[in-house]
Amino acid sequence: MTEIDDDPYLWLEDVTGEQALDWVRARNAETVAELTGGERFGELRDRVREVLDADDRIPYVRRRGEYLYNFWRDAQHPRGLWRRTTLEQYRAPKPEWDVLLDVDALAEAEGENWVWHGANMLRPDYRRGLISLSRGGADATVVREFDLETRQFVEGGFELPEAKTRISWIDLDRVYVGTDTGPGSLTASGYPRVMREWRRGTPVGEAPIAYEGKPEDVAVFAYHDATEGYERDFVGRSMDFYRSERYLRAADGTLTRFEVPDDAQPSVHRDWLLIRTRSPWATGGREYPAGALLAAGFDAYLAGSRELTVLFRPDAHTSLEYYSWTRDHLLLGTLSDVKARLRVLTPGPDGWADEPLPGAPEVGSADIVDTDPDHSNEYFLDTSGYTQPSTLVRGVIGEQAEPIRSAPSFFDSSGIEVTQYFATSDDGTAVPYFVVRPEGAEDGPTMLYGYGGFEVSLTPSYSGSTGRAWLSRGGTYVVANIRGGGEYGPGWHTQAVKAERHLVYEDFAAVAKDLVARGITTPDRLGIQGGSNGGLLMGVMLTRYPELFGAIVCQVPLLDMRRYHKLLAGASWMAEYGDPDEPDEWAFIGEYSPYQNVHSGRDYPPILFVTSTRDDRVHPAHARKMVARMRELGYPVRYHENIEGGHGAAADNEQLAFKTALVFEFLWQQLTRAR
């Protein structure tokens, strides 16, 4: 095992140090020379770029008052346009868009590599916005106040330098803000520890403190609910990734705590408090399971009532994926064996009515992308499947929904079949996975994708890039719904954290073995891909199950689990992985930490590491050090680090097309070569 004091590659943790960047440039040059020289790479990159820049993509919108807002990138506007239109125009084949901000023009005028990170708009008139801009795609942003009527940044308005800031409107002259104001203002994870009530024209560092957490917390938060007749302020802290405390903040600063379990997720809409449980909960003489959704009157609950209505109760096959309010109705997105189903619930004098909401595909995803909870019962629903491009539907509860936009088909899906199978993990658990492949295909190049963490569900959805770069070439695409995700509710996740993390890796290995047992592929033709937490998964597959795979792509990964909590945002993930400074917890982390478990004399499959210098969430040193260690041991490892790009490892469509082509070209070369 490599101990910290013996780590010869700590110098690669210096993100922008010249020695480290020289090393990065040398590795990039090697990989680019090997993978991008052929005509096939250029064609693949261009075909992916066509998908990303296609003019007939769906311009997804968010309603803010009378307008529908959209952020749009294409070949002419690689950094993007922030724009808006009306519903009447949006229904037209070619809507007329009112451009509010051209990020390309702004970047050129200011000499900055701006990447759009969103706009927080002032309710109810939406005339001002707090715009967040990132340099090169990092999580840290610059915040500037924008006037939507003049199309100008407000001179002397709210403005903050680059930081991992949390900011939201109270009214025109006040905001809640948490940012880097000097020592003590951030948590160990690098997020705000102190939220202030900042008034226009005053120094942010002198603004009164609205709430503060502890240094070991992940972050704190504060926000104002401007719903007319229900104006309220809320503050709280996230003690770790899954536990939080939330308070109602009165005008005089008095705090009233939401008395719910720390790991529950409360939310408020008008008269209603909703509570989503993550573990079993006994209260008011009743017991509620993990993964339930409960409703109570907000004022009554804070006054001590524990009269709760169960709006959703999970079972062995069905979980709650998300919920979203319209003004008068609650929309539920559920998963039944990883297939989307929709419900609409309506509170009334006789309780809650519960009816199906039509529109979900038989096998696919169904996502409520926007609602209008302030004013109407409008919703926008996006549906897709592995072979079905997205369809965007606009509906109003109680009325006939209208298809309003359809995405183009980027590859010929005729003859491609989608099948769900179940593998049996080492402990007997049935693990679902989807196989997408040409009918009758056997023993072909196969790409298996996985994530397995943070209760993130992988649902069937359309990818034009994957279709063009893999399926249309005869490849098989597989998605594993392993534990650590949320496909079967919070228990699917919680049973695989910390000391039980091994279940994630056993599940993924079980899917790989099942693919071979069914004759879908062979180990030398099975490639795997994953990023971030999924990159950690790839690292474990490399070091623990190398015989199962013919190639691996490991993107923006965690790999050095001995030091992950000391690098960038890593401390915020200790509820997922454990604390490596605690001997009892390092005992199980050290068993799988890839950086500490790569050794000489092993038959590792070919591997490509992809990361980004500007990733300020998962430190690029994870990948850098792993590559350096493998090179030291004589393994032919490939590496590419985008100097920009943030956690997505790409700052614009050109970079994303290049990265995507690099990944698929590497996998295709390795999995189709003569054996």
> Is the C-alpha dihedral spanning 554, 558, 560, 561 positive or negative?
negative
> Would you say residue 91 lies in a domain?
no
- Residue 532's contacts (CB-CB under 8 Å, 6 or more residues apart) are 451, 555, 556, 557, 558, 617, 618, 647
Question: Is 554 in the same domain as 644?
Answer: yes
Q: Which two tokens stand for residue 301?
A: 């609950």
Q: How far is Cα 207 from Cα 205, in angstroms, rounded to an integer?
A: 6
Q: What is the DSSP letter of 283?
A: E
Question: Is 482 in the same domain as 586?
Answer: yes
- Residue 456's contacts (CB-CB under 8 Å, 6 or more residues apart) are 485, 486, 533
Question: Is 532 in the same domain as 639?
Answer: yes
Q: How far is CA 501 from CA 110, 277, 335, 445, 506, in A?
A: 47, 22, 24, 29, 9
Considering 393, 409, 425, which residue would you say is the last residue of a domain? Answer: 409
Whether 457 is catalytic: no
Q: Which two tokens stand for residue 359?
A: 């529109």
Q: What is the CATH number of the domain that holds 428?
A: 3.40.50.1820
Q: How far is CA 113 from CA 72, 103, 396, 647, in A?
A: 17, 9, 40, 16
Residues of the chain with pLDDT under 70: 1-5, 644-651, 674-675
Report helix, strand and coil shares of the chain as percent, to nearest 5.
Answer: 25, 35, 40
Considering 409, 444, 473, which residue would you say is the last residue of a domain? Answer: 409
Q: Which two tokens stand for residue 588?
A: 């199980």
- E-strand ranges in 351-493 read 351-356, 365-371, 378-384, 391-396, 402-406, 416-424, 430-438, 446-449, 476-480
Question: Is 611 in the same domain as 525?
Answer: yes
> Would you say residue 329 lies in a domain?
yes
Q: What is the DSSP letter of 605?
A: P
What does the pLDDT read at residue 467? 95
Question: Is 337 in the same domain as 417?
Answer: no
Distance of CA 295 to the CA centre of its chain: 27
461 HSE (CA, 13 A, CB side): 12
pLDDT tens, residue by residue, 261-298 = 999 999 999 999 999 999 999 999 999 999 999 999 99
Distance of CA 625 to the CA centre of its chain: 25
> Would you say residue 260 lies in a domain?
no
> Would you say residue 172 lies in a domain?
no
Q: How far is CA 177 from CA 126, 322, 438, 451, in A?
A: 19, 27, 52, 33
Question: Is 582 in the same domain as 664?
Answer: yes
Q: How far is CA 597 from CA 283, 553, 561, 577, 602, in A?
A: 46, 18, 11, 17, 11
Q: For the whole model, what pTM was predicted?
A: 0.92
Q: Which two tokens stand for residue 93?
A: 């084949």
Question: Is 307 in the same domain as 323?
Answer: no
Question: Is 494 in the same domain as 639?
Answer: yes
Q: How far is Cα 413 from Cα 387, in angstroms, rounded to an integer?
A: 6
Q: How far is Cα 196 from Cα 212, in angstroms, rounded to an integer?
A: 9
Distance of CA 62 to the CA centre of its chain: 19
Question: Is 301 in the same domain as 427?
Answer: no
Of all helices (H) and strands (E), which one includes residue 135?
strand 128-135
First to last CA, the chain: 34
Q: Among candidates 457, 504, 462, which has minimal Cα distance to 335?
A: 457
Cβ atoms of 611 and 625 closer than 8 Å: no
Considering 386, 409, 432, which residue would you say is the last residue of a domain? Answer: 409
Q: Which residue has 């926007």 as its token pair? A: 370
What does the pLDDT read at residue 47? 94
Give the total number of structural domains in the chain.
Answer: 3
> Would you say residue 191 lies in a domain?
no
By DSSP bridging, strand 430-438 and strand 416-424 are antiparallel
> Would you say residue 82 lies in a domain?
no
Question: Is 299 in the same domain as 324?
Answer: no
Q: How many CB atoms lie within 10 A of CB 50?
A: 15
Catalytic, out of 532, 572, 593, 612: 532
Q: How far is CA 439 from CA 163, 385, 389, 476, 520, in A?
A: 50, 17, 19, 10, 11
Question: Is 426 in the same domain as 391?
Answer: no
Question: Is 379 in the same domain as 498?
Answer: no
> Which residue(s) pair with 132 in the sheet?
143
Whether 532 is catalytic: yes
User: Which residues span the domain enclosing 365?
Assistant: 318-409
Q: Could you give the 3-state DSSP secondary structure of residue 565?
A: helix
Catalytic, out of 77, 329, 565, 647: 647
Residue type, 585: E
> Would you say residue 86 lies in a domain?
no
Task: State the Cα angle at 272 between 270 and 278, rounded to 5°.
Answer: 130
Phi-psi label, residue 136: left if phi above 0, alpha if psi -120 to 50, beta otherwise: left
> Would you say residue 31 lies in a domain?
yes
Phi-psi label, residue 478: left if phi above 0, alpha if psi -120 to 50, beta otherwise: beta
Q: Among candidates 558, 534, 551, 535, which has minimal Cα distance to 480?
A: 534
What does the pLDDT read at residue 675? 52
Task: State the Cα angle at 646 between 640 and 651, rounded to 5°.
Answer: 85
Q: How many CB atoms lie within 10 A of CB 33?
A: 9
